Amino acid sequence: MGPLVGKRTWGGLVGIGGYPPLIDGGGVTAPRMGIWFPNGRWDVENRGVAPDVEVEFDPQLVREGKDPQLKKAVALVLEELKKYPKAAMKRPPFPNYYKPGLKEPAEGK
């Protein structure tokens, strides 16, 4: 969909799910899902996902209402929109379903 901006994810993606609840409302889970890619590797667990564009996360700036990762992502999207502007869509003419020679149904039938 687009470039990933930020820092490498932590790599903990073995998933759990589909376990029924216990009668007392508790539950038991066990890891049972992972993510693999067409390259034939289990690519996320213990590796994380590397961004296409690495930008440091600065908690102080975020507390001040500034997010350098978001700012960079928005800048990249705006650059892409300049390179590949949205195509102008032209509405087609309205369809004409009128068929000459057909009788109109009688009133009340």
Q: What digits encode the pLDDT tens for the residues 19-56?
A: 899 999 999 988 888 888 888 888 787 888 899 999 99
pLDDT in tens, 71-108: 999 999 999 999 998 888 999 999 988 888 767 666 65
N-terminal to C-terminal alpha carbon distance within the chain: 54
- Pick the closest to residue 55 from 4, 105, 11, 95 (CA basis): 4
pTM score, whole prediction: 0.57
DSSP character for 83? H
